[in-house]
Amino acid sequence: MSLGYYYSLLAKKQSDLQRLLACEGELQGKQQEFNHYRHTVTKPDLSPFTWQGKLADEFEDIRFEQMLTSYTDIESNQFQDVFSAISRKLQQIQQEIDSIKQTIASLEAQLAAERSKK
């Protein structure tokens, strides 16, 4: 492959890396926002003046046992899984960039050797 191809590939991989880093930063902001609104899952509090009875009790059970559990799972496990996947992809792209740079250096050395022979 030509040197131009590898420079183009390097630029693409560096762009991919920057986009993924930006995505990670944006996602961290969304995670903080998500954590900030955790308390709203159980709001408003139900009282005898707002809503009471069997349906109110069932609704409270759903909020605290299902919704809050799901919210907590997203807050801790799912966000962590996504950040781990992003981290792995960042490492992979960085390794690809390093490999491309080595290939470019090797090709440039070959070209320099060929030019010095002429």
Give me the count of residues in the chain: 118
Quick one: how far is CA 55 from the chain centroid? Answer: 40
In angstroms, the Cα distances linking 14 to 24, 27, 78, 86, 98 are: 15, 20, 27, 15, 10
Residue 41's pLDDT is 81
Q: Cα–Cα distance between 107 and 115 in angstroms, integer?
A: 12
Q: What phi-psi label fits residue 53: left (phi over 0), alpha (psi between -120 and 50 degrees) or beta?
A: left
Residue 49's pLDDT is 67
Q: Cα–Cα distance between 75 and 37 in angstroms, integer?
A: 11
Residue 19's pLDDT is 98
pLDDT digits over 39-94, tens only? 888 777 766 667 778 887 888 888 888 888 999 999 989 999 999 999 999 999 99
Q: Which residue has the tokens 């799901």?
A: 70
Residue 32's pLDDT is 95
